[in-house]
Structure 1
Amino acid sequence: TCMAPERLQYAELQESFSTMKSFPVGTTVSYVCRPGYIRIPGKPLDRTCGEDLQWSPTEEFCRARKCNHPGELQHGFINVTDLTFGSKATFSCEAGFRLRGTDEISCVIKNNVVDWNKDLPFCEIIPCGPPPSIANGRYTELQSYVYQTAVTYSCDAASRGADPFSLIGPATIFCTYDEHSNGVWSEPLPQCRVVKCDNPKVENGRKKTGFGPSYSYEDSVMFECDPGYVMIGPAIITCGENNTWSPPKPTCEKITEDACGAPKITHGVVIPLKSVYEGGESVQIKCNAYCTFHDGTGEMTATCQGQNTWSSLQNCSCGSEISGVTPHISYGRVVDGQKPSYSVGDFITVECYAGYTLHGEARIQYVGENKWVPGVPTCQLSAYITAIICVIVAIVVFLAAFWIYKKFFSQNGKRDSTPCTAEYKICKA
């Protein structure tokens, strides 16, 4: 006898065979599909105990039933790799939205059919609570505050004769969210305070900009030193929230006979940059992009000669060359960047008319002296159009030759008939 056949994941023995412990040779058993599976048409459901006491092989005759696709999740994503019985679907939301409901569903048996075991969730936009109020200020009020909603604060007007309030901190904050998808505001709240800084003065120097009777929050002042003095520290200072100047005021120190202040270069940088250089010390000067010295180079070296004097000091000039007109493109045109005139560094984009092929780069850059890099492209007739023109010319030549040939023989025929006709008439006469 055969032992009971092995258990199949997708089918089970019919009830009449399920209680049998041994099966005589030649016994045939039948299967039925398990719940969640459906029979594959044409596949046998039977197996037979053979003389070798082994069950006959079988092909898979039941397949898993499928659930319908869960559908779309607005402002979210559904991850489902399979719809068969036993599979799962997971859900997630876009940035700024959070999931309401389950994050996973399974395809199960419900009322003798396969279906998802739970309702679909939905994605709701993350809300924020109303922004907090601030002393001596207000914000723009809205009906609701949700993800990416912006709120702008402003300070109240001061009473007559009083110092005005200054808004310290970011004026605008946004509704965003934390790691738990709870709505929070993006920035710390600003403050409205009275800020006053004293009138700054620098010995052996003077104000260049920022003249005024009083100074409040974020007011700036620029200083310059008197001739023969060099500035130590930043030239521009700003009134900060703590009623102090930031950074601290600069100082102007007298230049000794064997020292130099930092060279001032238009459209260039000094390397290394310091406040004071000793006599004989050299620096490297580099021009900015698309800028050069008068000799066309972009770098040079200058040396301190003492008494605030530098050798070989030059300024950089930038974009002085103008092309005047757009380059001529035969059988093409400029589609982007066209201007009446061009400065060094300007770009244009070129395309050809229909039937022509661009030879060269479509995007070129002006480098001065009416020159473009990597060169103005050309538009040449495409091979397809050239072939068509050749065919047309061949047809025209053939028709012309045929017309000349026909006309030539037609005229000869007239000449041959005229004498005969005349002779005929003479003979007849």
Structure 2
Amino acid sequence: MGPSVRGPGLLLAMMALSWLGGAWAEGTCPFPDRLQYAELEESSRTMQSFPVGTTVSYVCRPGYMRIPGIPSSRTCSKDLQWLPTEQFCKERKCNHPGELVHGSVHVTDLAFGSEATFSCEEGFRLVGPDTVSCVIKNNGVDWNRDLPVCEAIACKPPPSIPHGSYTEADSYVYQMVVTYTCDQAPRGADPFSLIGPATIFCTSDEHSNGVWSEAPPQCRVVKCDDPRVENGKKKTGFGPHYSYRDSVTFECDPGYFMIGSDVITCGEDNTWSPTKPVCEKITAVVCSALKIKNGVVVPEKSVYEEGESVQIKCNAYCAFPGGAQDMTVTCQGQNTWSSLQDCTCEIKGSDSTPSINHGRVIDGQKPFYSVGDFITIECYSGYTLHGEARIQYVGENKWNPGVPTCQLSGYITAIICVIVAIVAFLAAFWVYKKFCSQNGSYTVDESCKETCILKTNVPAEMEETAQKN
């Protein structure tokens, strides 16, 4: 009897406990959410259950700070939600890095975890990190590394050269130009010639280290022999001796035609380049090489036989008067060609070399420039190049980068200023002594004071005009 009664009673008790347990479970909130910006206080972290009405408290995580007026606690509501849900901590912010002298600071946000990046202007390099992060530091937030600085890219002093010198300075920074000159040769000795670029400038490599744009020139004695052409004569370039870059122009005697270039130049190896031309006798069955302005000849030969034809092709943006860009001509003997014409060019070309005051073109000079042609410029002794030495023609009489200028070197300008100051001082002293002293004494009477004051403050030109009037 006992067991039969105990069985139903036990079953009822278990059902009751199960119902009570379900009701208890339905009246509790889940474990509080894990927040990115805050964490539970120690006392709240030890709780095992969260019935309706339970309150838990949070503290802001490192890198965050309380938002005034918003509670940092949440309560389990009747609908088993943790309320309120409003964010009560905000990210701490680092101070703005400030301005970077000769550089830029790139910041999108100053909040904890953000980054700032840095870059320098052309001619300067970054010393320090190019990126810093806003991190936790000393119970707050700050940048994780010292901020960088931009320092000027500097070059070591330029190389010295035998028998020459360069314009010296206290330091050599990015884009600074130095000019080399050769020493004066002893009396009676052959002069030195500057071989290579007269100016080089400080630039940078891929690692922002200061380097010179190219190797320095050399100062050497260059002598070429007196060139003579049989059955021809010089048109220009007469002289007792010839040194580096001296040029001579030839023409053939009547009845002869030229094979080769009519202009030769003395090179650094003491020889003429190109080789001297040859004057051949004109016969009934030959023609000399064609020289076409703004075009090329195919095939190109020094001598053509009677009846031989060649094709003339005009350069880019150029054409013959009728609009065609190529034509065929035939040697008729006696150095005569059929239908020979020159190519004319559109405005995209230029037939003028840029004018450089106190400077010259040392490489690439042509009677006509097409788009893409390069020239190299150097300044005369005592002047400094401002701009790029090598520039490219881009059409419509424009060069890229712009045509540089040659300006007086700093040390020459300083000398001129000193001389002008000395002359001005001596002139003022002479005026004072002449009009404001008596017998070598500098005692000035009342009648002289006003005149003296006026004369020492009026330019000499105005004084002379007043005396004439």
Task: Pick the TM interval, shorter chain.
Answer: 0.5 to 0.7
- Find 2:210's aligned residue among 172, 176, 183: 183
2:260 alignment partner, one of 229, 233, 239? 233
The one of 276, 301, 310 equivalent to 2:303 is 276
2:244 counterpart of 1:217: yes
Partner of 2:229, secondary structure, is coil
In the alignment, is residue 88 of structure 1 matched against residue 115 of structure 2? yes
Q: Secondary structure, in 3 states, of the residue corresponding to 2:203?
A: strand
Kindly provide the CA deviation profile for residues 82-106 of structure 1, in whole angstroms up to 9, marking residues without a partner as x.
Answer: 1111211122212221223333322
CA distance in 2, matches of 1:114, 1:282: 81
Change (3 A) 1:103 1:233: same
1:155 is displaced (CA, Å) by 0.8
Partner of 1:106: 133
C-alpha distance after superposition, 1:29-78 (max 9, x if no partner): 22222232234466554444578877568343322122232111111121
Distance change >3 Å, CA 318–CA 56, structure 1 → 2: closer
Alignment of 1:249-268 (within 5 A): 249-264=276-291
Distance 1:68 1:115 in 2: 7
Whole-angstrom CA distance in 2 between matches of 1:84 and 1:296: 68
Query: How far off is 1:156 after superposition?
Result: 0.9
Tell me the SS of whatever aligns to 1:23. coil
Task: Write the distance in 1 (CA, Å) between the matches of 2:317 and 2:79.
Answer: 90
Alpha-carbon shift at residue 268 of structure 1 (Å)? 5.5
Residue in 2 that maps onto 1:20: 47
- Cα offsets for 1:312-342 (capped at 9, x unmatched): 44678999xxxxxxxxxxxxxxxxxxxxxxx
- Tell me the alpha carbon deviations over residues 214-267 of structure 1, each in whole angstroms, 9 at most, x when there is no partner: 1111111222333444433322221111112222223334445333223456x6
Quickly say closer, same or farther: Cα 1:106–1:255, change in 2 above 3 A.
same
Higher helix share goes to which structure?
2
Instruction: Work out which of the residue numbers 131, 152, 177 in structure 1 matches 2:179.
Output: 152
Q: Quick one: distance in 1 between partners of 2:156 and 2:180?
A: 16
One of 76, 95, 101 as aligned partner of 1:74? 101
Question: By how many angstroms is 1:136 displaced?
Answer: 0.9
**TM-score, structure 2 as length reference:** 0.59
Partner SS for 2:173: coil
| Residue 64, structure 1, aligned to residue 91, structure 2 | yes
Letter in 2 for 1:193: R
DSSP-derived class of the 2:98 partner = coil
Query: Is the Cα contact below 8 Å between 1:287 and 1:299 reproduced in 2?
Result: no
8 Å Cα contact 2:237-2:249 kept in structure 1: yes
Offset at residue 270 of structure 1 (A): 5.4
Classify 1:315/1:26 alpha carbon distance in 2 versus 1 (closer, same or farther; 3 Å). closer
Q: Distance in 1 between matches of 2:133 and 2:325?
A: 69
Q: CA deviation at 1:148?
A: 1.6
- Provide the C-alpha distance between the structure 2 equivalents of 1:104 and 1:268, rounded to a whole number of angstroms: 55
CA distance in structure 2 between the partners assigned to 1:219 and 1:268 by the alignment? 26
Residue 220 (structure 2) aligns with: 193
**Matched residues, percent identical?**
70
Q: Distance in 1 between matches of 2:148 and 2:79?
A: 56
Q: Which residue of 2 aligns with 1:202?
A: 229
Matches of 1:124 and 1:250 in 2, distance apart? 56
Tell me what 2:431 maps to: none
Matched residues in 1 for 2:123 and 2:225: separation? 46
- Contact persistence 2:297–2:310 (CA under 8 A): no
Residue 88 to residue 316, structure 1, CA distance change in 2 (3 Å): closer
Aligned counterparts of 1:33 and 1:182: Cα–Cα separation in 2: 47
CA distance in 1, matches of 2:344, 2:230: 34
Greater shift in the superposed pair: 272-281 or 283-292: 283-292
Query: Are 1:165 and 2:178 an aligned pair?
Result: no
> Does the C-alpha gap of structure 1 residues 14 and 243 become closer, same or farther in structure 2, counting only changes over 3 Å?
same
Q: Distance in 2 between matches of 1:100 and 1:246?
A: 50
Q: Which runs of 5+ in 1 are unaligned?
A: 320-364, 366-429
Contact 1:174-1:186 at 8 Å conserved across structures? yes
Are the aligned partners of 2:294 and 2:318 in contact in 1 as well (CA < 8 Å)? no
Q: Is 2:158 aligned against 1:131?
A: yes
- Which residue matches 1:246? 273
Query: Using the alignment, how far apart are the partners of 1:213 and 1:261 within structure 2?
Result: 31
| TM-score, normalised with respect to structure 1 | 0.64
Superposition deviation, residue 152 in structure 1? 1.0
Cα deviation, 1:108-166, whole Å, max 9, x if unaligned, reads: 33444333344432111122222222111111121222212211111111111110111
Alpha-carbon distance between aligned partners in 2 of 1:31 and 1:140, rounded to the nearest angstrom: 72
1:411-422 mapped onto 2 (5 Å cutoff): none
Q: Contact 2:290 / 2:297 at 8 angstroms: preserved in 1?
A: no
What CA RMSD, in Å, does the superposition of the two structures yield over aligned residues?
3.5
Partner of 2:37: 10
Query: More displaced, 284-293 or 209-218?
Result: 284-293
Relative to structure 1, the CA distance from residue 128 to residue 288 in structure 2 (aligned partners, 3 Å threshold; closer, same or farther) is closer
Which residue does the alignment assign to 2:62? 35
